[in-house]
Structure 1
Amino acid sequence: MTQHPGSGVGSRVSPTLLLLLSVLLLLAASTTAPTARAAESDGPSVTLSKKEAGKGGEITVKGGGWRSEALLMLLICGKSTPERGVVGGTNSCANADGRAVTTDKKGAFSKKLPVAEPPEPCPCVVHVATVTGEQGLVDAVFTVAGHPTAPLPPPADEGRLAVLATTRLEGESSLLTWFGAPPARQLVFTVGNLGSAPVEDPVFEIGTAHGVFAPQWEERQWRGTVAPGGKAQIKLPVELSAGAHGDYQVSLRYGTKVLAEQPWGVGRPWGVTLFWVLLCLVVPAAVFRIGMAVVDKVRPRPAGMVARHARRTRPASTDTAVLPWFTQDSAPSENRRSAPPENRPPPTTKGHVWTRNGG
């Protein structure tokens, strides 16, 4: 019996191998599909204990998927939707009744938030955003019972602003900055509206970063309107913390797009250093002088030194000292000077004798 090629053991094993490979591929697909779905669901999330509450009430805000140990700000904002965000920036939020919370090591948090009426009418959201570091935000739909409701304004073509000229920082440091006052400048730039709708009162964000740290963003609203195809020069204040020095990076952001970046070298506040040097010199000298004065007061003194000290400190007497060989009675007077010569004792001269007859 002859064997034809391909009719041996290899032909019988090949279907088995194919079956095993098919099973392995199905298992791999079944294990990777949930991972992909989990990756798609990764990211910050927020859940509310109530979807509606009145002023004076309280809700519990929980979240997960945030950065570990991140500082978050919780606000109730009007004129907002999850799709369009907070229209008008934080000016539409009840900032006075906001709360801050720090996530745990797993990026989760739970915080009670008092219900307050925002300055703008609803639709409202609970706005949760990071304060420092990489930006992250989530808006959860919420209704403030009894608060007015108004439709949102038509969306403007806000994302079409672009910087047309080089940005620059204007201003100089004052004498107070040399002693540690916050350095301040004005970020000057020119923007143009490349869209078809006017942009009114745009809200920019100014970020300041030092070294390798992430920028800290602050909102700055510019009052004015940029017409379609028009341009405008904008000046926004920039301020650092007290005592700041070194190399900083100032960033300008509009919406989600960074429009410009500008370096800023801040000099060291040498006045603070001079103050501490003088303090280290003056205080020890004053303490030394006080200590020496105390030691001089409390140390024991010899008897002779005490007597000399007493004489030195005794007030001078106004009485005239009387010489022992001179008294008031023996003082010469005019009468005694005019006494007759016969009452005076005769003068004597050595080697010569006077006689009554003058011989």
Structure 2
Amino acid sequence: MTRQPGPEAPHPTRPTGPPSLTALLTLLALLPALCALFVLTAPGARAAEGDPAVSLSKKEAGKGGEITVRGSGWRPDALLMLLICGQSTPERGVIGGTNSCANADGRAVTTDRKGAFSKKLPVTEPPKPCPCVVHVATVTGEEALADAVFTVAGHPTAELPRQGGDGKLAVLATTRLEGDSSLLTWFGAPPARRLVLTVGNLGSDPVEDPVFEIGTAHGVYAPQWEERQWRGTVAPGGKARIELPVELSAGAHGDYQVSLRYGDKVLAEQPWGVGRPWGVTLFWVLLCLVVPAAVFRIAMAVVDKVRPRPAGAHRLRRPTAPTAVIAKTKTKTKTKTKTKTKTNANTATGTDANATTAVLPWFTPDSAPSENRPRPTTKGQA
């Protein structure tokens, strides 16, 4: 028997519909990992690991020498300042702030994409005695700093001042701003005042030469802090009157907030309303009026100089009798028309003679020809 060919059974095929749920979940799980891998492998995208560190090529050098400062672990592309500071240790930091550092001979450096740097620093004597350090700190952005022990050969050495951990300052009276604005402030000079307050030492240790921070804030902006050191000592349980200078930028105006901070504590805040420098506004208004007027006058003078003129306009007209003489003649003529005819004729003759004399300036009344003048005698006549 032969088998009759019949319809073949259909072969199983894969579904051509949308992908399965398992594939979608797998793709979503791998997507964050791929993004993280891309970010980590991008050049300069990975932040420096660990705390900032500083190393020196020499631990000791004399004035006039030079050392190489190297650092790692800093924020990428960060601007740093390098200073040699006295009266400082890595444990206690820079006592007295940057007033203890040789600021004039400092250097600035920018870290690379890995957060490292290398910079040569000249050796100078700081204003305070050693122990000394090479102080490295960020200028902008998040605050970060590091210190490395360094010895300036030949520079005096003294013990560090006793740490006044128990010295606490508090404001005892209302703060105020003293001083007046000068005439230059009306024209945009920096406004300046003195912040006056009375502080007391509530601790058991004296506070010597405290370093305050004064911040000025305008509107909703954060305050900009600047260090101000007060020279003096506040004994335990004592009080002192402190005056600190406050200065704004040139042309500043509006409502400002002056804050005083000691350590991590804000001691006082004082509002300061600064008037607008109307002299600057007046200057710009006058400038906008005078300059266009001057340009207009110059342009009109140039146009009048170069404009074309009609032919013959430069020739002078023939001189005529003065207007006053003509008006006087007309008045006399109208007045004498009411007289007799003979008088009118004589007046007309006299008027014609006067007009002729006026029109002919080369004859004067004495030299004009006349019939009544005697004839000149000829030679030989008596």
Q: Does 1:230 align with 2:238?
A: yes
**2:146 equivalent in structure 1:** 138
**SS at the partner of 2:68?**
strand
Distance 1:106 1:178, change over 3 A: farther
**SS at the partner of 1:181?**
coil
Structure 1 segment 110-189 matched on structure 2, within 5 A? 110-132=118-140, 135-157=143-165, 159-189=167-197
Asked whether the equivalents of residues 167 and 201 of structure 2 are also in contact (C-alpha less than 8 Å), the reply is no
Q: Does 1:206 align with 2:214?
A: yes
Structure 1 segment 10-49 matched on structure 2, within 5 A? 42-49=50-57
Question: Cα offset for 1:191?
Answer: 0.8
Q: Does 1:221 align with 2:260?
A: no
Query: Aligned AA for 1:289?
Result: R
Kindly provide the CA deviation profile for residues 178-236 of structure 1, in whole angstroms up to 9, marking residues without a partner as x.
22111111112221101222223222221223345443332222222212101112111
**1:270 equivalent in structure 2:** 278
Question: Cα offset for 1:327?
Answer: 6.0
**2:266 equivalent in structure 1:** 258
Alignment partners' CA distance in 1, 2:317 and 2:363: 28
Structure 2 gap segments, 5+ residues each: 1-48, 320-358, 375-382
**1:30 equivalent in structure 2:** none
Alignment partners' CA distance in 2, 1:297 and 1:158: 86
Q: Does 1:291 align with 2:330?
A: no
* Equivalent residue in structure 2 for 1:300, among 295, 308, 331: 308
Distance 1:231 1:107, change over 3 A: farther
Alignment partners' CA distance in 2, 1:76 and 1:137: 13
Question: Cα offset for 1:124?
Answer: 0.4
Query: Aligned AA for 1:137?
Result: L
**1:349 equivalent in structure 2:** none
Q: Does 1:98 align with 2:106?
A: yes
Under a length normalisation based on structure 1, what TM-score does the superposition of the two structures give?
0.69
Distance 1:69 1:214, change over 3 A: farther
Question: Cα offset for 1:286?
Answer: 0.5
Query: Aligned AA for 1:280?
Result: C
Which range is displaced more, 125-134 or 80-89? 125-134
**1:248 equivalent in structure 2:** 256
Which range is displaced more, 158-167 or 71-80? 158-167
Root mean square deviation, CA, Å:
3.3
**2:92 equivalent in structure 1:** 84
Query: Aligned AA for 2:218?
Result: H
Distance 1:260 1:197, change over 3 A: same
Structure 1 segment 191-202 matched on structure 2, within 5 A? 191-202=199-210
Alignment partners' CA distance in 1, 2:136 and 2:155: 21
**SS at the partner of 2:312?**
helix
Query: Aligned AA for 1:150?
Result: A
Asked whether the equivalents of residues 206 and 233 of structure 2 are also in contact (C-alpha less than 8 Å), the reply is yes
Identity of aligned residues (%): 80
Alignment partners' CA distance in 1, 2:194 and 2:297: 50
Distance 1:322 1:145, change over 3 A: same
Question: Cα offset for 1:242?
Answer: 0.7
Asked whether the equivalents of residues 84 and 133 of structure 2 are also in contact (C-alpha less than 8 Å), the reply is yes
Distance 1:248 1:137, change over 3 A: farther
**2:328 equivalent in structure 1:** none
Under a length normalisation based on structure 2, what TM-score does the superposition of the two structures give?
0.65
Distance 1:223 1:309, change over 3 A: farther
**1:322 equivalent in structure 2:** 361
The number of residue pairs the alignment matches comes to: 288
Kindly provide the CA deviation profile for residues 36-62 of structure 1, in whole angstroms up to 9, marking residues without a partner as x.
xxxxx8544333333222322222333
Alignment partners' CA distance in 1, 2:194 and 2:291: 40
**1:21 equivalent in structure 2:** none
Structure 1 gap segments, 5+ residues each: 1-40, 312-319, 337-359
Distance 1:67 1:310, change over 3 A: farther
Alignment partners' CA distance in 2, 1:309 and 1:113: 88
